[in-house]
Amino acid sequence: MRADGRPGRRRDWAVTLVVVAALGLGAWAYLTSRGDDSGALWSRLPGGTDVAPATDARYLSECGDCHFAYQPGLLPARGWDRIMATLDDHFGDNAELDPEARTAITEYLIQNAADTSHLRRPAQIVRSIPARDTPLRISEVPYIKDAHKDIPARLVTGNAKVESASHCDACHVQADKGYYNDSNVVIPGHGKWTD
Ligand code: HEC
Ligand code: HEC
């Protein structure tokens, strides 16, 4: 305060700075929470998710036992529905559950499936699948297959530390957080992926 009772210029500046910083932070939080990944700046910032992380405790324990617990946003509801209806013949394994657990997990997957997500990656997944198809494998979804078309087979199926395109978490080091950006990939035995 100056003698005439008006705040000094310095304080005006300080207030302006605080307001600008708050707006910037708000915009950053909004953009990263949308998980947009169009190659824009915010998609490179830490904290941006591509697919909402899997949170249901029962899903994580029942379906994360044999392999990575895929996020529900990686398949449309009709894919999850079919998987959960055929657990006795699950890719050559028997993954049957008691009816109560099966119902609860099916509901969780369907409620959070790719077709219910507002994030960009699930939307791309859904858009890439013809309406007549019901994919059971995320790794066979056209968008996901296309994203990996430049990776030589020797680094995937021919790589003892990866073995299968299904093992997302072998290469995407933050797959469990729902973060699949190609800037954050380390292929075991090969190193960081740079394209
Ligand atoms: C007994 C072991 C086992 C359990 C339990 C299990 N799975 Fe699987 N799952 C497999 C095997 C084996 C594959 C094929 C993996 C491969 O080809 O590399 C697979 C593949 C998958 C795939 C396709 C992966 C891809 O290629 O994109 C999905 C999706 C999947 N499982 C979902 C589930 C769900 C949902 C549950 C829980 C209800 C579950 N799994 C429980 C063994 C299991
Ligand atoms: C062998 C290692 C490996 C495995 C296994 C793998 N990925 Fe990838 N993924 C990559 C690499 C490398 C890229 C970048 C490819 C490029 O830039 O040409 C990529 C790209 C992607 C992209 C696009 C990223 C971007 O920034 O555009 C998505 C989405 C993705 N992977 C999801 C998955 C999912 C889901 C799984 C499991 C079903 C999976 N990946 C399994 C290595 C892998």
The predicted pLDDT at position 175 comes to: 95
Compute the distance between CA of residue 180 and CA of residue 37 in angstroms, rounded to an integer.
10
pLDDT of residue 170 exceeding 50, the answer is: yes
Do 110 and 180 have their domain in common?
Answer: yes
Q: What is the dihedral of CA 99, 103, 104, 109, to 10 degrees?
A: 140
- What are the structure tokens assigned to 161, written together? 């530390």
Going by pLDDT thresholds of 50, 70 and 90, the confidence category of residue 5 is: low
Instruction: Mark whether 76 and 115 lie in a shared domain.
Output: yes
Atom 1 of ligand 1: nearest residue by CA position? 95
Half-sphere exposure for 169 (CA within 13 Å, toward CB): 13
Express each pLDDT in 94-110 by its tens digit: 999 999 999 999 999 99
In a domain, 3, yes or no: no
Q: Is residue 163 part of a domain?
A: yes
Tell me: the pLDDT tens digits for 23-81? Answer: 777 666 655 554 444 444 444 444 457 899 999 999 999 999 999 999 999 999 999 99
Tell me if 132 is assigned to some domain. Answer: yes
Tell me the CA–centroid distance for residue 109 and ligand 2, in Å. 22
Residue 164 sits at φ, ψ, to 5 deg, of -150, 145
- Measuring from atom 11 of ligand 1, which residue has the nearest CA? 91
The tally of domains found in the chain comes to 2
Asked whether residue 62 falls in the same domain as residue 21, the answer is: no
User: Residue 39: its pLDDT value, please?
Assistant: 42
